[in-house]
Structure 1
Amino acid sequence: MLYKMNLEYILFLDIETVPQYEDFRLIDAETQELWAQKTDYHRKDGATPEAYYDRAGIWAEFGKIVCISVGYFKLEGETKSFRVTTFKGDEPQLLEDFKTLLENHFGLAKHMLCAHNGKEFDFPYIARRMIIHGITLPYHLDLFGKKPWEVNHLDTMDLWKFGDYKNYTSLKLLAKVLGIASPKEDIDGSMVRDVYYKDKDVDRIVRYCELDVITTAQVFLRLRNEPLLNEAEIKRIEH
């Protein structure tokens, strides 16, 4: 089935997230207590809720999205290209812009969303943040009442599992074992919070996010046993 999918029907994506506030002390007392309860199981070695707050970005209830990068293939005969763009800025607006893209270009049942670990992170995180901001979910994120086979979500990590639910493989590791050249990233996921709040360099985060989208697309091509994209085939565009 993977080989039969039309590449032009797939939207590849990645998100970057940070804690909603730069400092734990900026949160109201009730939310601080809820954070303490939420992270009680995860905190080890006596770490306090405040000390653990730098990880708040991984939970949609306590974090926010600072950018969504997307990529899609364009096929013209034997020639293909991969277009990449990013939605960034104020979270409600970037979510609205992303929703508009889905509805105008990837809103039909034939279309699919693809991300690495997207089923566990990107897709539900985006949906939850949309609900929090009062944004009606677009077709591909509104899963209520849908049968599993009606949910057109692809996940390169899930595809690599081949039914092994215990296996977690990072995008970087998967790219390495599949022979995909590792992009030259000057940051990693653990640094996004500081780059956002301390350096205030969203563009640096965008570059990192877009590289992950490109790598996810390359992994997908390898899973189909197809040639990888070359640099000339990758087009970065403004939305």
Structure 2
Amino acid sequence: MIEKLLLENILFLDIETVPLEKEFSELDANTQMLWEQKSQYQRKDEISAEDFYDRAGIWAEFGKIICISVGYFNIGENFKSFRVTSYSGNEITLLKQFRKLMIEHFSQPKHLLCAHNGKEFDFPYIARRMVINGITLPYKLDLFGKKPWEVPHLDTMELWKFGDYKHYTSLKLLANVLGIPSPKEDMDGSMVKDVYYEENDLDRIVSYCELDVVTTAQVFLRLRNDELLSEDEIRKI
């Protein structure tokens, strides 16, 4: 029962990713061929691998992380706050910063990671990019040898499935049906690549990522039938 979990033991997170290069033409010939092979089952016959390259950020082999936002509860006898911070920019640097956070503050058996669709995207993506960049996996992302019930990951989309393996619900839709106030966002996930490569506006992406972390935490609270966070309880650090 998620009601029994201590909120202070959960690290909520979200990531934003983009293709490794701005344009398909910037990839070497071998990587272009591998991308064409990888994407052939996702794109329609009339769509070329080059035209489909805008979606390369979805795959850890052809994308990179430009932002990891995290949030965690700080709860005392007479107060509650949700603290949000982000690591962004150079991928190797932000991955090392995120790893340091987990090792120093979220490495105990009681600690859990939580994201929306995290088991299918965020958690494996971070782990793969760490391996690709030669960064040793922290215990919470190294799943080798762990039994299913030993995996320290929570997923708000999985919790909403209630055993339905075919059901996909976006974070935005889930927040809406649960009555969670929608934050004022000036972008969506489909815009991240252009905002990063064309507008060079990383701060805008970080703000968007942090809003998703807050929304994920709010969804988790609603799934527990807890009171939602108020604006003055959310603090950026």
Q: What is the TM-score when the length of structure 1 is the normalising length?
A: 0.98
Which residue number corresponds to residue 112 of structure 2? 112
Which residue number corresponds to residue 151 of structure 1? 151
Which residue number corresponds to residue 199 of structure 2? 199
Which residue number corresponds to residue 221 of structure 2? 221
| Residue type at the aligned position of 1:151 | V
Which residue number corresponds to residue 12 of structure 2? 12
* In structure 2, C-alpha distance between the alignment counterparts of 1:78 and 1:216, rounded to whole Å: 24
* In structure 2, C-alpha distance between the alignment counterparts of 1:205 and 1:45, rounded to whole Å: 32
Does residue 131 (structure 1) correspond to residue 131 (structure 2)? The answer is yes
Which residue number corresponds to residue 86 of structure 1? 86
Structure 2 unaligned runs (5+)?
none
Structure 1 unaligned runs (5+)?
none
| Residue type at the aligned position of 1:174 | L
* In structure 2, C-alpha distance between the alignment counterparts of 1:231 and 1:81, rounded to whole Å: 10
Does residue 65 (structure 1) correspond to residue 62 (structure 2)? The answer is no
Does residue 29 (structure 1) correspond to residue 29 (structure 2)? The answer is yes
* In structure 1, C-alpha distance between the alignment counterparts of 2:26 and 2:221, rounded to whole Å: 45
| Residue type at the aligned position of 1:184 | K
Does residue 163 (structure 1) correspond to residue 163 (structure 2)? The answer is yes
State the SS of the aligned residue for 1:60: coil
| Residue type at the aligned position of 1:73 | F
Aligned-residue offset at 1:109: 1.0
* In structure 2, C-alpha distance between the alignment counterparts of 1:196 and 1:42, rounded to whole Å: 24
Which residue number corresponds to residue 187 of structure 1? 187
Does residue 140 (structure 1) correspond to residue 140 (structure 2)? The answer is yes
Which stretch shows the higher mean deviation, 187-196 or 73-82? 73-82
| Residue type at the aligned position of 1:226 | D
Aligned-residue offset at 1:45: 4.7
Which residue number corresponds to residue 235 of structure 2? 235
Aligned-residue offset at 1:78: 3.9
RMSD, matched Cα: 0.6
Q: Percent identity?
A: 70
* In structure 1, C-alpha distance between the alignment counterparts of 2:136 and 2:148, rounded to whole Å: 21
* In structure 2, C-alpha distance between the alignment counterparts of 1:78 and 1:14, rounded to whole Å: 29
Which residue number corresponds to residue 208 of structure 1? 208
State the SS of the aligned residue for 1:134: coil
* In structure 2, C-alpha distance between the alignment counterparts of 1:49 and 1:37, rounded to whole Å: 9
* In structure 2, C-alpha distance between the alignment counterparts of 1:188 and 1:89, rounded to whole Å: 19
State the SS of the aligned residue for 1:72: strand
Aligned-residue offset at 1:158: 0.2
Aligned residues: 237
Does residue 76 (structure 1) correspond to residue 76 (structure 2)? The answer is yes
State the SS of the aligned residue for 2:46: coil
State the SS of the aligned residue for 2:126: helix
* In structure 2, C-alpha distance between the alignment counterparts of 1:79 and 1:7, rounded to whole Å: 13
* In structure 1, C-alpha distance between the alignment counterparts of 2:228 and 2:82, rounded to whole Å: 11
Cα deviation, 1:150-206, whole Å, max 9, x if unaligned, reads 101000000000000110000000000000011100000000000000000000000
* In structure 2, C-alpha distance between the alignment counterparts of 1:89 and 1:50, rounded to whole Å: 25
